[in-house]
Amino acid sequence: MRRRFVAGNWKLNLGPAQAAALAEALRTGLADRGDVDVAVFPTALSIAAVLPILQGSGIEVGVQDIHSADAGAFTGANSPAIAREAGCTRTLIGHSERRQIFGETDASVNKKVRAALAAGLLPIVCIGETLAERDAGQAEAVVHRQVAAALEGLTADQIPGLTLAYEPVWAIGTGRTATPEQAQDVHASIRGWLRAHYPSFVADETRIQYGGSVNAKNASQLLSCPDIDGALVGGASLKLDDFRAIVVA
Ligand code: PEP
């Protein structure tokens, strides 16, 4: 039985004061969330404002991106070891905005996954096809390639600690959600790929979130699919009521 996991990606929104206010609201508003893991990913400069508020609440705080090195001459980068020392427990890796805008590649995603695990940060690894790739019938091949690259060099035992987030690029921030059938098909295919390449506990235990315009209205249908183990939420994670509704779903 995989425990559900809902994560909020605040992207480049909410400075320290606004982030602290949302964290306060989440602390009380999600106190009765039941058997669901919850994490939020503030922008890096707001993490210090959010961490003390969510400490002890069971809501985890993560960093939206890391560099593959812990220290050195890498101006502007986030160190995995320093993020862990600061109190973050998780990191996003390979979000499509990082891939498309900042030139993230399958190879750099793999380096970051290894660096995160070495530092004690649990990664959420984002994968997903573009609309052109879907229209060309390549959705499954693309996500299989991305998963294989991200996991390269990991032992089977390391894999269930990380989370995969299937986020079709055409559904992120567009209001156009994958149908539950479309999402379930790809999730089942990713789980099948894991089953074919690792001992069966890896496919059984690794959580696969769906992301892409998840909101209070569509969450329960998506989250009732057998291979969808939670959600990675962008826009709707900025509003307590919407995010709460997704967690409840
Ligand atoms: C995301 O940023 O991971 C995301 C899924 O965004 P949105 O929910 O806004 O589509």
Please give the tally of structural domains in the chain. Answer: 1
3-state SS record for 73-124 = CCCCCCCHHHHHHHCCCEEEECCHHHHHHCCCCHHHHHHHHHHHHHHCCEEE
- What local confidence, expressed as pLDDT, does residue 149 receive? 98
Residue with tokens 């905005």: 97
Structure tokens at 56: 């002890």
> Which of 10, 96, 172, 223 for mutating ligand 1's site (highest number of atoms within 8 Å of CB)?
172
Domain enclosing residue 80, as ranges: 4-248
The per-residue pLDDT for 177 is 87
Chain mean position to CA 52: 22
Closest ligand 1 atom, residue 214 Cα? 8
Residues in the chain with pLDDT values less than 50: none
The ligand 1 site (C-beta within 6 Å) comprises: 9, 167, 172-173, 211-214, 232-236
- The enclosing H or E element of 17 equals helix 16-29
Name, in order, each residue with C-beta under 8 angstroms of 92's C-beta and a sequence gap of 6 or more: 9, 41, 62, 63, 64, 65, 123, 124, 126, 165, 232
- Give the domain CATH number at 44: 3.20.20.70
CA distance linking residue 211 with residue 214, whole number of Å: 6
Q: At what angle do helices 16-29 and 240-248 cross, to 10 degrees?
A: 40
Q: How many residues can be counted in the chain?
A: 249
Cα 130 to the chain's mean position, in Å?
A: 18
Give residue 33's pLDDT: 85
Ligand 1: nearest atom to the Cα of 171: 10
Q: Which residues are 60's β-sheet partners?
A: 39
pLDDT of residue 225: 97
Which pLDDT score, from 0 to 100, does residue 229 have? 98
CA-nearest of 68, 114, 63 to 88 is 63
User: Do residues 103 and 111 touch, judged by C-beta distance below 8 A?
Assistant: no
Q: How high is the pLDDT of residue 175?
A: 85
Q: Whose CA is closest to atom 2 on ligand 1?
A: 234
